[in-house]
């Protein structure tokens, strides 16, 4: 059936704040199941303080991503910000660092799935079975994504809520059953356990707790109303995650306190490997086992937490697989990687090669050593670099476009010499850059592996750009849309602007006929046109309600033709300019618009907008004649 066919942009869904929050929290919140152990190895009794510091850095980073993503609602995250603020070369550096993040996210999430399933079979807790189990998870998910089985968004929302509620429940039980201020105080040995060097190194490692902030950015194109949905979802994720990481480490160190081992070294079972009787590989199960529970209740809770953690980590691994394919596709679209990585499978219409190479082969190579500390260090290397570029990009955009009418402006800011300086980006950028330097200086293995990854990427980029494409390194150039046979006659990316009335309905019907005949993807856009005196992120419930109604009707019309229609709300000062920008960003091949309604007393509905679009559109424009016009 036509509506089951998966096209080039077929991954798009209409996402609101709950779905965006659930997707991001499922990714960020999953990290609690491994971040506690990885961080406690270095931070020991100061683990809660480390998470608070890294949480403040994350809050600043979240604000940066909220502003950058709303300003440029397109896949790419920090790479997209850098492209607009600097040039394509800097954008490639951010994207290549992101790729490393996704590879590590896939590897570390998959690696910890068998650890939590060890409640059913103990050997899964240690090598080599945890490595084998992680590889199996990666292979399964790469295969699933090549075939193109879609995620159930409602299931992700449900699991994210259950996961958050479970973590809150563990915190509540911990405070009631085992919390001890005296134990927490005794855990701290300033300057010796941990050493100041380890304390500083623990901060960037703890940032692994906040994996997934790029997820919301990469889903920006799928948000129906990004101006309101993206900042809200990022804020909710930041608050929810910080609430857990501000409280759960206190419970963890009350349950698994710091002590001296036989060699006289300060340790905590929270950071010890399984062969030494510790819970580095499954820290949340370690907390459960030491809550003071026993018998059937303990067994039931262990099974519940183990299965839930494995499920959440499985979903987080899948999010990493999807993220790797998305960033690869984006990089290929901007001529940063060879065209072959954006080719779709002839049957399943998915980027199969990028999934196999980056999400599959490279992720498996990373997981084979089975070293959780190395994975954490490598994530810190890539993430801190990517976050730093994002912060500096937002600062540069504020300087270069000081009077730009921002749809959303994150806070706090300081106005000085005509520039609204983003204090969150300045402080966040300093924090992430210093954290990156700590990893580079203190960790030789991750230093050379990370720098080697960057070197390989930049060499390949330079060769591809200079020798193959013969393009400047810093020039932004999008690859042409891959259409296949009869390219001149096919319109696979169709944009349909909507207004109330029959003209838009008929334009949408024309687009649907194109879609059923030629297998197109339709994006229906409603532009909320706001005057200069009204902020672009203003609450306009009447307009939003009308937009939702028209977009739902558009999807209904699409369903009647067996065509998927993606709805989009855009806020702008000028509707025509907004339509042109949307068509340019989406590489639309045709814009289908309704004709003016002559019976309108205050002038035609589409007159000014159609005139602008016809003059400035980057593609063909079809203006349908309304049979119902007077």
Confidence check: pLDDT of 477 > 90: no
The predicted-structure confidence for 293-315, as pLDDT tens digits, reads as follows 888 999 999 999 999 999 889 88
Name the pLDDT band for 559 (thresholds 50, 70, 90). confident
* Number of domains into which the chain is organized: 2
Residue 468 falls inside a structural domain: no
d(CA 234, CA 108): 23
> What is the residue-averaged pLDDT of the chain?
83
Together in a domain, 440 and 348: yes
The predicted pLDDT at position 412 comes to: 92
The predicted pLDDT at position 238 comes to: 81
Mean pLDDT, rounded, for 213-234: 74
Name the pLDDT band for 489 (thresholds 50, 70, 90). very low
Mean pLDDT, rounded, for 132-141: 94
Residue 603 falls inside a structural domain: yes
The predicted pLDDT at position 627 comes to: 53
Together in a domain, 421 and 565: no
Together in a domain, 533 and 435: no
Name the pLDDT band for 46 (thresholds 50, 70, 90). very high
Together in a domain, 455 and 491: no
Whichever domain contains 562, its CATH number is 3.40.50.620
Range with top average pLDDT, 196-200, 304-308, 455-459, 535-539: 455-459
Residue 609 falls inside a structural domain: yes
Together in a domain, 506 and 430: no
Mean pLDDT, rounded, for 390-417: 85
Together in a domain, 415 and 529: no
The predicted-structure confidence for 66-101, as pLDDT tens digits, reads as follows 899 888 877 778 999 999 999 999 999 999 998 998
Q: How far is CA 618 from CA 7, 17, 166, 419, 612, in A?
A: 22, 31, 50, 33, 12
d(CA 205, CA 373): 9
Residue 472 falls inside a structural domain: no
Residue 184 falls inside a structural domain: no
> CA torsion, points 24, 25, 26, 27, in degrees to nearest 10?
60
Q: Where are the alpha helices (DSSP H) in 290-356?
A: 295-333, 352-354
Together in a domain, 240 and 168: yes
Name the pLDDT band for 429 (thresholds 50, 70, 90). very high
The predicted-structure confidence for 250-288, as pLDDT tens digits, reads as follows 999 999 999 988 888 899 999 888 888 889 889 999 999
Confidence check: pLDDT of 9 > 70: no
Name the pLDDT band for 333 (thresholds 50, 70, 90). confident
User: Quick one: what percent of the chain has pLDDT higher than 90?
Assistant: 29
The predicted pLDDT at position 3 comes to: 37
Q: Among 441, 459, 477, which residue terminates a domain?
A: 459
Domain that holds residue 575: 487-624
Q: How far is CA 535 from CA 226, 438, 525, in A?
A: 15, 41, 20
Together in a domain, 405 and 276: yes
The predicted pLDDT at position 13 comes to: 41
Confidence check: pLDDT of 8 > 60: no
Give residue 258's Cα distance to chain centre.
Answer: 35
Together in a domain, 515 and 380: no
Residue with the bigger pLDDT between 26 and 274: it is 274
Phi and psi based region of residue 132 (left: phi greater than 0; alpha: psi -120 to 50; beta: remaining): alpha
Mean pLDDT, rounded, for 476-487: 58
Task: Compute the C-alpha angle 300/303/308, nearest 5°.
Answer: 125
Confidence check: pLDDT of 32 > 50: yes
Together in a domain, 225 and 293: yes
β-strand pairing of 521-529 with 493-498? parallel
The predicted pLDDT at position 609 comes to: 83
Q: How large is the angle between the packed helices 88-117 and 295-333, nearest 10 degrees?
A: 160
């Amino acid at each position: 059936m036509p509506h089951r066919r998966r096209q080039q942009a077929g991954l798009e869904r209409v996402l609101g704040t709950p779905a965006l929050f659930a997707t991001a929290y499922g990714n960020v919140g999953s990290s609690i199941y491994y971040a506690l152990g990885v961080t406690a190895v270095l931070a020991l009794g100061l683990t809660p303080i480390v998470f608070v510091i890294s949480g403040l850095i994350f809050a600043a980073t979240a604000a940066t991503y909220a502003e950058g993503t709303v300003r440029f609602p397109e896949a790419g995250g920090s790479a997209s910000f850098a492209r607009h603020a600097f040039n394509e070369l800097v954008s490639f550096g951010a994207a290549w660092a992101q790729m490393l993040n996704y590879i590590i996210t896939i590897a570390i999430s998959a690696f910890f799935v068998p650890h939590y399933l060890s409640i059913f079979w103990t050997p899964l807790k240690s090598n080599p079975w945890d490595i084998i189990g992680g590889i199996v998870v990666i292979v399964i998910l790469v295969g699933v994504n090549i075939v193109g089985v879609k995620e159930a968004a409602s299931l992700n929302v449900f699991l994210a809520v259950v996961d958050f509620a479970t973590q809150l429940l563990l915190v509540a039980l911990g405070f009631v059953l085992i919390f001890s201020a005296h134990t927490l105080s005794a855990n701290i040995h300033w300057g010796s356990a941990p050493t100041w060097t380890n304390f500083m190194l623990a901060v960037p490692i703890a940032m692994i707790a906040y994996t997934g902030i790029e997820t919301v950015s990469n889903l920006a194109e799928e948000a129906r109303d990004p101006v309101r949905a993206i900042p809200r979802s990022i804020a909710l994720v930041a608050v929810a995650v910080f609430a857990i990481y501000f409280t759960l480490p206190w419970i963890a160190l009350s349950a698994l306190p710091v002590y001296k081992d036989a060699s006289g070294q300060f340790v905590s079972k929270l950071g010890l490997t399984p062969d030494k009787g510790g819970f580095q590989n499954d820290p949340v199960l370690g907390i459960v086992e030491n809550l003071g529970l026993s018998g059937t209740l303990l067994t039931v809770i262990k099974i519940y937490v183990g299965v839930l953690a494995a499920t959440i980590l499985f979903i987080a691994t899948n999010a990493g697989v999807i993220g790797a394919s998305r960033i690869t596709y984006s990089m290929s679209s901007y001529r940063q990687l060879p065209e072959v990585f954006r080719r779709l499978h002839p049957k399943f219409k998915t980027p199969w090669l990028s999934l196999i190479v980056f999400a599959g082969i490279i992720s498996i190579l990373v997981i084979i050593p089975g070293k959780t500390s190395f994975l954490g260090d490598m994530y810190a290397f890539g993430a801190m670099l990517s976050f730093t570029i994002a912060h500096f990009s937002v600062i540069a955009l504020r300087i270069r476009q000081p009077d730009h009418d921002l749809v959303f402006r994150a806070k706090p800011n300081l106005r000085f010499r005509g520039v609204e300086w983003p204090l969150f980006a300045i402080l966040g950028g300093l924090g992430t850059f210093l954290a990156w330097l700590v990893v580079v200086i203190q960790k030789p293995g991750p230093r050379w592996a990370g720098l080697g990854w960057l070197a390989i990427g930049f060499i390949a980029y330079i060769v591809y750009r200079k020798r193959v494409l013969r393009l400047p390194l810093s020039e932004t150039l999008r690859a042409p849309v891959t259409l296949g046979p009869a390219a001149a006659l096919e319109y696979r990316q169709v944009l349909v602007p909507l207004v109330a009335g029959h003209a838009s309905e008929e334009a949408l019907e024309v687009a649907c006929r194109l879609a059923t005949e030629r297998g197109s993807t339709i994006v229906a856009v409603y532009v909320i046109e706001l005057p200069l005196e009204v902020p672009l992120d203003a609450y306009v419930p009447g307009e939003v309600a009308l937009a939702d109604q028209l977009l739902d009707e558009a999807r209904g019309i699409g369903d009647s033709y067996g065509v998927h229609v993606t709805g989009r709300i855009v806020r702008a000062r000028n509707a025509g300019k907004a339509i042109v920008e949307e068509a340019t960003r989406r590489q639309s091949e045709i814009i289908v618009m309704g004709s003016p309604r002559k019976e309108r007393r205050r002038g035609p509905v589409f007159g000014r907008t159609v005139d602008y679009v016809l003059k400035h559109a980057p593609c063909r424009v079809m203006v349908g004649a309304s049979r119902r016009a007077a």
